[in-house]
A and B are shown apart, each in its own frame.
Chain A
């Protein structure tokens, strides 16, 4: 079998493959470390049972849905108290309740959001209105 213009096509293909895979080569070994969000805030340290409103796994995967539901309940339905499965009561407020324990926004929120490619103050844009705890200013 004979290939026409092989002297141009083969180098061209090589250049193309190198260019296409360049991002992979360029970032080889430079993977961002998997974030380890810290929960060592003073309030949490003092707790005897370190338990959030839901089990940790559910909070990791479902906190956005939970916050969305809380917003709907508080703003639109006027219900402000959340009774967890274990009977504990919480005020449904990101600013006044969540951040009371998780007062380390940079460590607790931003780290994962940045890792997941959510730009700060763009998505989720919680902190353009809600006031972050003082430690992070």
Chain B
């Protein structure tokens, strides 16, 4: 066939038409495909955050109360390992001079010394752990800002543990199952030897429409969870009405856990 400009243009036009029709064909092809969606009951937020009112915790809570920690660790099948070097923790307590490094002076110590501060993963807006993870096992969810872990992908290199300035991550040096003292929560998996774990802001509970286990367990309302982007949320109200601090703000990781002290 002799080709000339006219036939070339015709064929080109047909090709362009075919390419243009591709999305339409795709749309029809997708009609019969299974679809993925969210639970309509799921709590939706753009930037989840937590405000921890330590005053409330100390004043209203019974001394040595560990309700939030027990609830979290029970719910997530977190093992209890006594050896400090191998312990696994999602939410725990630490002293003022460790939690707010450089912010204490000899006189703050008078009334804050020995007081337990509740600490957990800060779900930073600019998380160091996510930057260093070589497999993207740790990632920041774009839709709600939760710093999540995909345990399937974790290779146990522990870069994230080195990177996290808050010590929020624990490594499973051994099979955790024999160390789970509470009854196993059959709806949540355990971890295995060789993966890192940390608080996940209860994303699996949020997806089913309930608040994080620690928030639900706290009887004195010292833990408040909510969406920072929603001006009517509980966290925004607390932030507006109280002076709050965050851990190690000078590092620029922008923690999303705020403290009222």
Residue of B nearest to A92 (CB): B36
Q: Which residues of A contact B175 (CB under 8 A)?
A: 128
Which segment of B94-102, B189-197, B231-239 sits at the interface? B189-197
Cβ of A81 within 8 Å of any chain B Cβ, yes or no, is: yes
B27-57 near A? 1/0 per residue, CB < 8 Å: 0000011111111001000000000000000
Query: What is the distance, in angstroms, from B146's C-beta to the closest C-beta of chain A?
Result: 9
Alpha-carbon distance A78/B150, docked complex (angstroms): 12
Residues of A82-96 at the interface with B, using a CB-CB cut-off of 8 Å, are 82-85, 91-92, 95-96
Query: What is the distance, in angstroms, from A75's C-beta to the closest C-beta of chain B?
Result: 5
A115-128 near B? 1/0 per residue, CB < 8 Å: 00000000001001
Q: Which residues of A contact B184 (CB under 8 A)?
A: 131
Q: Which residues of B contact A77 (CB under 8 A)?
A: 36
* B32 interface neighbour in A76, A85, A95, Cβ under 8 Å: A85
Q: Which residues of B contact A131 (CB under 8 A)?
A: 77, 184, 186, 189-190
Query: What is the distance, in angstroms, from B68's C-beta to the closest C-beta of chain A?
Result: 24
Cβ of B210 within 8 Å of any chain A Cβ, yes or no, is: no
Residue of B nearest to A129 (CB): B189
Alpha-carbon distance A131/B139, docked complex (angstroms): 24
Query: What is the distance, in angstroms, from A83's C-beta to the closest C-beta of chain B?
Result: 4
Cβ of A105 within 8 Å of any chain B Cβ, yes or no, is: no
Q: Which residues of A contact B152 (CB under 8 A)?
A: 71, 75
Give the secondary structure class of A's interface.
loop
Residues of A41-83 at the interface with B, using a CB-CB cut-off of 8 Å, are 53, 71, 73, 75-83
* A76 interface neighbour in B37, B139, B189, B207, Cβ under 8 Å: B139
* B37 interface neighbour in A71, A83, A125, A128, Cβ under 8 Å: A83
B68-97 near A? 1/0 per residue, CB < 8 Å: 000000000100000000000000000000
Q: Is the CB of B148 within 8 A of A73?
A: no
Query: What is the distance, in angstroms, from A98's C-beta to the closest C-beta of chain B?
Result: 13
Cβ of B203 within 8 Å of any chain A Cβ, yes or no, is: yes
Query: What is the distance, in angstroms, from B197's C-beta to the closest C-beta of chain A?
Result: 10
Q: Which residues of A contact B35 (CB under 8 A)?
A: 82-83
Query: What is the distance, in angstroms, from A54's C-beta to the closest C-beta of chain B?
Result: 8
Cβ of B143 within 8 Å of any chain A Cβ, yes or no, is: yes
Q: Is the CB of A78 within 8 A of B143?
A: yes
Q: Which residues of B contact A96 (CB under 8 A)?
A: 187
Alpha-carbon distance A96/B207, docked complex (angstroms): 14
Cβ of B141 within 8 Å of any chain A Cβ, yes or no, is: yes
B140-174 near A? 1/0 per residue, CB < 8 Å: 01011000101110000000000000000000000
Alpha-carbon distance A26/B150, docked complex (angstroms): 45
Alpha-carbon distance A81/B32, docked complex (angstroms): 16
Alpha-carbon distance A77/B188, docked complex (angstroms): 18
Q: Which residues of A contact B139 (CB under 8 A)?
A: 76
Q: Is the CB of A81 within 8 A of B187?
A: no
Alpha-carbon distance A53/B35, docked complex (angstroms): 12
Q: A residues near B, CB below 8 A? A: 53, 71, 73, 75-85, 91-92, 95-96, 125, 128-131, 134
Q: List 29 A-B contacts (CB under 8 A).
A: A53-B34, A71-B150, A75-B148, A75-B150, A76-B148, A77-B36, A78-B203, A78-B207, A79-B36, A79-B37, A80-B38, A81-B36, A81-B38, A83-B34, A83-B35, A83-B36, A83-B37, A84-B34, A85-B32, A85-B33, A91-B39, A95-B186, A95-B189, A96-B187, A128-B192, A129-B189, A129-B191, A130-B189, A131-B77
